[in-house]
A and B are shown apart, each in its own frame.
Chain A
């Protein structure tokens, strides 16, 4: 990846740029469905500037976008961390929402607990988590009811 990344993009969300990876961090606003997806758009832009191929960029941005939407619908927002290495991109979405009681059930395509108003906005079809699994090479969900959920996704470059 280009060494000049930080200065080139003047990107305020770059919180650390170690020798072998760049970290981007975002607070996801849970109040506002309108702004949901802004962090994913920024990540997409950064990856493009860093010269990643379009397929990798799409995998990362779609899976993160679905996750971001989930955090807004179910968990009142949370935190997104994206670590960019030369050979992989690791996305961690952490929330303090209600947790997922049955992860296998939540992973089933078509299963949804989203309220009706979310369906009228074009989401809540029970495709979020399956899409995230489809677009990433590895995905891990850690969740405790009443405590929160952390989703870790890896896209190999």
Chain B
């Protein structure tokens, strides 16, 4: 799925990375606990979260995730967006709740991918 399609499905605003919207992503992870993202993400390229601090961007960076979707109408502060921009991460903001956002993307073919166990 292209990132542009994620933006369209979630009626999301593109906060940075406009030029990267054609990038293909295969799987995603929805999580508010960054420690769990660090523990279980393997190949997921999209992080869907309602948490809005700089550590969300750093966590995505560590896990080589190229797109962050902020849900529940959360607007990340400008310093978070600029951190993501420097890290070459596309940032989207959607008013959808986490459950709905994940459901819509899954239904349209964006899988959960595999995870690390233990």
User: Which residues of A are interface residues toward B (Cβ below 8 A)?
Assistant: 33-37, 40-41, 44, 54, 58, 61-62, 65-66, 69, 121-128, 130-131, 134
Contact = CB atoms under 8 A, between A and B. Distances in A.
Contacts of B63: 58, 62
Interface string B38-53: 1100000000000101
Interface of B: 32-36, 38-39, 51, 53-56, 58-59, 61-64, 79, 87, 116, 118
B38 A62 contact: yes
Contact of B62 (A65, A127, A128, A130): A65
Contacts of B54: 34-35, 37
A122 B61 contact: no
Given A62-B38, A65-B38, A127-B38, A122 B62 contact: no
A34 B35 contact: no
Given A54-B64, A62-B63, A65-B62, A123 B34 contact: yes
